[in-house]
């Protein structure tokens, strides 16, 4: 496998195992460009398992989504197999009998790869491939494959590669001659290392390098965040299920040029734009990577530097596909990831997108108080989205009236710099200002406040 951004001496040769069938689904990542080179679209069998207590409808919806993921990765889901079990089989997840049944189906329809909707342990994957005689992958491998295809920036490629390597490390194996030891000699210890040990060491070294590189990126983001905080502009993060329309909404709100495509995970890299709100406020709006059910833990960890903008945001604009088959389930999946990254307590504004594709978005907006239905494509109710964001941002500040003496020009400048001045007028003893200020700024200016309990009025 050639991971995105691999250095020549860190690139592993293909497994020494004898291939029993074509396929392997791009070996989780394709070439160094991040695109999978295929001479044909692989034929895939999807396997879903429903355990006691699971909702069968949710299991079917999850398989539907897996089919979309497979299609996005560049393969065709030809057949589905569903099994009910009390618990997964430790050795093969589905049991040897079911595995033999799937092998018969695969041979009959000439299938290349079997993809499981649940994560397989390294041992389960190894045992399944022995029985099936072809590649056995899980949902995590498919998502990693898609991310590898879509990563475009150096940071995105590094994050995806890190996730891939962490996924591969426990699955690294060799057989036959490739397990022979290297010849001993001067400077070597004992008879030498097996090729497996060499490969594992190279992978670990590459992981450490990527983690160090991403820490530098994170430090740079912290510096940027401090610079933005000095401007007193609020940060807004657009979050949501993949393909919900976050990038389209940012383009519509901020006249941005973020890539928009009707496919899963089209955007992986965070994009930040200044957004001027109707009330005069300016916020930093950031488009983020889309979420999905059963999002691999490796990706959540690897994309930590990107997802930090979500955790540190003042407001989350949660974009939901109002025309989707299961908007409630997608919202729950997004909130689960938000909890995992420590952003569960960040204030949230629900925006139901794609109101031009039926009445679903409008009905959902009626059900969830304070939410908005819109269409990023047509621009329907975009003004209302902007106004609602402005209202939420203003609710985070305090309205106060101050009188600043004429000899305190520094204080006057501070009010203009740190708050939003709504009105000002000259008086005998100084300048009277009506302004919205952050609670921390207002505390430092308390001695100049003459009335900080003004009623909220339209500006």
Per-residue pLDDT, 186: 47
pLDDT of 36:
38
Structure tokens at 357: 């594709």
- What pLDDT, on a 0 to 100 scale, did the predictor assign at position 10? 40
Closest to 446 in 3D by CA, of 383, 388, 404, 389: 404
pTM of the predicted structure, to 2 decimals: 0.73
Give CA–CA dist 153/306, Å, rounded.
Answer: 12
8-163 and 398-451 in the same fold = no
Q: What is the pLDDT of residue 175?
A: 42
Pick the CATH number of 233-394 from 3.10.105.10, 3.40.50.300, 1.10.3210.10, 3.40.50.261: 3.40.50.300
Question: Residue written as tokens 């495509």?
Answer: 261
Given this model, what pLDDT does residue 52 score?
A: 80
Tell me which of 2.60.40, 3.40.50, 3.30.1180, 3.30.70 is the CATH number of domain 398-451: 3.30.70
Q: Which helix (H) or strand (E) holds 128?
A: helix 122-132
Q: Which pLDDT value is given to residue 451?
A: 63
Residue-level pLDDT at 347: 94
> How much is the pLDDT for 101?
96
Partnered with residue 284 across adjacent β-strands are 235, 274
CA atoms within 13 A on the CB side of 263: 16
Domain ranges of the chain: 8-163, 233-394, 398-451
The C-alpha torsion from 81 through 87 and 90 to 95, rounded to 10°, is -40
Which of these, 217, 347, 340, lies nearest to 270 by C-alpha position?
217
Q: Could you list the mean pLDDT of each consecutive 10-residue stretch along the chain, which spans 459 residues?
A: 41 43 50 44 92 81 90 91 93 95 94 92 94 92 85 81 89 54 48 73 91 83 62 83 90 75 65 85 86 80 76 93 89 90 92 94 95 94 94 85 91 83 88 84 84 48
Tally Cβ neighbours within 10 Å of residue 6: 20
Residue 132: predicted pLDDT: 94
pLDDT at 67: 92
Domain 8-163 is found in CATH 3.40.50.11060: yes
Beta-strand (E) ranges in 258-374? 271-276, 282-287, 315-321, 348-353, 372-373
């Amino acid at each position: 496998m050639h991971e995105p951004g691999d250095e020549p001496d860190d690139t592993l040769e293909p497994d020494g195992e004898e291939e029993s069938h074509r396929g392997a689904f791009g070996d989780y990542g394709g070439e160094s460009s991040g695109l999978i080179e295929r001479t044909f679209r692989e034929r895939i069998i999807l396997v879903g398992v429903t355990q006691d207590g699971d909702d069968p409808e949710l299991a079917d919806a999850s398989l539907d989504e897996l089919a979309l993921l497979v299609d996005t990765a560049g393969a065709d889901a030809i057949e589905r197999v569903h099994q009910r079990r009390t618990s997964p089989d430790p050795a093969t997840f589905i049991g040897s009998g079911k595995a033999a049944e799937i092998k018969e189906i695969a041979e009959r329809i000439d299938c290349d790869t079997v993809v499981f909707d649940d994560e397989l342990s390294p041992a389960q994957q190894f045992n399944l491939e022995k029985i099936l005689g072809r590649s056995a992958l899980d949902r995590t491998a498919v998502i990693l494959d898609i991310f590898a295809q879509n990563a475009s920036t150096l940071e995105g490629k590094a994050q995806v590669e890190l996730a891939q390597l962490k996924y591969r490390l426990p699955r690294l194996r060799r057989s036959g001659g490739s397990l022979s030891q290297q010849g001993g000699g001067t400077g070597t210890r004992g008879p030498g290392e097996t090729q497996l040990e060499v490969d594992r060491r190279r992978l670990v070294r590459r992981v450490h390098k990527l983690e160090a590189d991403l820490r530098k990126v994170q430090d740079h983001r912290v510096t940027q965040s401090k610079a933005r905080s000095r401007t007193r502009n609020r940060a807004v993060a657009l979050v949501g299920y993949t393909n919900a329309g976050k990038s389209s909404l940012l383009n519509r709100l901020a006249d941005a040029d973020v890539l928009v495509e009707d496919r899963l995970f089209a955007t992986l890299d965070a994009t930040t734009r200044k957004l001027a709100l109707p009330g005069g406020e300016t916020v930093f709006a950031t488009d983020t990577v889309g979420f999905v059910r059963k999002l691999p833990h490796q990706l959540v960890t690897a994309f930590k530097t990107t997802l930090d903008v979500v955790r540190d945001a003042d407001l989350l604009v949660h974009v939901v596909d109002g025309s989707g088959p299961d908007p409630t389930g997608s919202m729950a999946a997004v909130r689960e990831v938000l909890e995992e990254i420590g952003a569960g307590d960040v204030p949230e504004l629900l925006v139901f997108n794609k109101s031009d594709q039926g009445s679903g978005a409008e009905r959902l907006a009626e059900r969830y108080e304070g939410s908005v239905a819109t269409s990023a494509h047509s621009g329907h109710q975009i003004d209302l989205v902007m106004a609602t964001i402005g209202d939420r941002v203003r609710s985070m500040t305090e309205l106060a009236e101050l009188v600043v003496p004429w000899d305190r020009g520094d204080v006057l400048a501070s009010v203009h710099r740190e708050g939003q001045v709504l009105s000002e007028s000259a008086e005998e003893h100084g300048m009277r200002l009506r302004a919205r200020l952050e609670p921390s700024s207002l505390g430092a200016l308390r001695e100049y406040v003459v009335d900080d309990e003004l009623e909220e009025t339209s500006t």
